[in-house]
Chains A and B, each alone.
Chain A
Amino acid sequence: MRRRLKILEFALSALWRRRFKNFAIVVVYGFTIAVLASILLMTDALRGEAEQILLGAPDLVVQRVAAGRHDLIPIDYAEEIRGLPGVGEVSPRYWGYYFDAFTESNFTFVGIDDGPPYELELLEGRLPSAPYECAVGEGVARVRSTGVGHELTLISHDGLGVIFDVVGEFRSPSSILTNDLVVFRNADLVELFGIPEGRAVDLSVEVFNDGEVATVAAKVKRIFPDSRPITRSEILRTYDAVFSWRSGMLLAVFSGALAAFCILAWDKATGISAEERREIGVLKALGWSTRDVLELKFWEGAAISVTAFLLGLIAALVHVLLLGASLLAPVIQGWSVLFPEFRFTPSISVYQLFVLGFLTVVPYVASTVAPSWKAAVTDPEEVMRG
């Protein structure tokens, strides 16, 4: 143990002699780790959040496809679907998009059944229960400077202005679901959009047994060949793919960081400087064994990579958990005018951290030791002469 500490002391002294170069390596290496870890932490947090929240999504959504695209569905379909074994409530859903010319942003309108005033924990006020009432998401309230007790003017399908009383505003923790929403009674939304009588946007189907959802979906498809059933598990799978680190832009950032790391490791692995070779020669001439030299180089690599890994990990944890991934959010944001502020539900697996550590620390240490081995087994005089 004492011998190891002495070699570590010597390794640290050697690193200190080239402190500016090694400091630069720690900064670049740490930055690479921070980027990789930030992507892993952020995508994991978003995927975990989507998975948990969307468990509340309908068991099965039935769309109608006409001319290759989503079309309004006849409400008559609901009767026949309701008759299938294992199926509970089948409700028409009314929803759609609205381009708000005042703010140049897109809102999503959602209709709900008529019913008594309904309160939600994440809603200040209540859901609409009377004609010309609505509830708005935080983003809509912000861009239209409205809120509970105020009004919201919208343009209907026939070009007329319609004034709604805002009776509810979704609180910010629900922004990831409700930021761009405006919620109406179904009847108001049908009137606003001019949806023909007897039609709905799609149908929400309740299936009592989760294990039968796929069977019900197949039966719906058989009865109505022009329908497109979408199960909740398909919705969850979509988000699993959307927030996979393997996808699109995130993969580009991820692979860029990984490529930078590979270049760093490759630079180390392809050779050591003349000064380092001379140092190894002197040590061998002084009686150090090959094993001692390799141990020295191992500690040099380990000291740099462990320090860079931990600093990079700390930076990533602070960036994602405390700063809401403020540097990566613009990559995700795209051109959205209404974009929810990310408040991540942290999702950290120790396994993931170990994998990241293993994939970065081990190659770097190996690329430090490997070229030194070649110098260490060569005759000291030859090494010192270069």
Chain B
Amino acid sequence: MSGVRVLVGTRKGAFILTSDGKREQWNVSGPHFAGWEIYHVNGSPVNPDRLYASQSSGWFGQMIQRSDDGGKTWEAVGNKFAYEGVPGTHQWYDGTQHPWAFARVWHLEPSLTDVDTVYAGVEDAALFRSVDGGQTWQELPGLREHGSGPRWQPGAGGMCLHTIVLDPSDPERIFIAISAAGAFRTDDGGKTWQPINRGLKSEGIPDPNAEVGHCVHHMAIHPSRPGTLFMQKHWDIMRSDDAGDSWREVSGNLPSDFGFPIAVHAHEPETIYVVPIKSDSEHFPPEGKLRVYRSRTGGNEWEALTNGLPQSDCYVNVLRDAMAVDSLDSCGIYFGTTGGQVYASADAGDTWAPIVRDLPAVLSVEVQTLP
């Protein structure tokens, strides 16, 4: 019988949650790497037992861990992230130029076709790739050297490359997003990049047509329609149907269009999910009600999903990498909160239940559908 494995990164370790296809009874394993910040854990689509984890610490720096048995055992692999050449400067909070400096790995994206190839999005923003299972890392410098780098600036969480979307129909095409620079696309396997931010409107940027400077929070695609991108920006839910060449807002009737994650249903390319947050100053759900919003029309028309979620006195946040879907026949949706809950829905969001309630603050959630 098929099952699911939920990979959870938290402020104090990683947890692995497993269940059969019914998704009713759960086994919780962890903490792995207890006491460390686990920004992201992700599995290879080629071999689901190959996992990669970003383990970091303000004291001890960055580690990358790899598992070949679905997270039962782990091996530390390479942690040398060296920018190519002289990395130059980016804009600092006060508007001055600031040297590029590596801080941590935010996101790990395993290749769709090769188990030993994995991409790493890092702070200060850059994209690295390993082709030897994480032992060594090489930067794809064409992104950082795009030319707009001196105008990139950190968001509140640092200047991080946090989203990597691989196009399943074109191995040369990759989408990435940086806070706060915006979204970029390569069509030649990472050699050259172009900003894809036309149509994004960001308060605080005087130029309404600014090429970069946008605080994109997350992006997602459906594998069957890789030209359609959905974006949760700092404010605004956005949609592109031309691979990012242009964007239009689809926030519609949401109570707030501020938020962090966005996800697409595994079998319905026009069904998308967001978790509205009150504002950029108050990172918790409006009215203290934790509500996932679902649109079955690719945006604009949204319905609140509340069954099983706390509808009073709830003041948690859901971070950008903390929502994911499985691909079982009835699509499962999962998200983790800064309050340490991981919620799951086995019916596309109609009903929810917590898998665990008291983990450390959740930084990331990924889901593997197992054969």
The answer to whether A and B belong to the same complex is: no
Contact surface of B with A, Cβ cutoff 8 Å: none
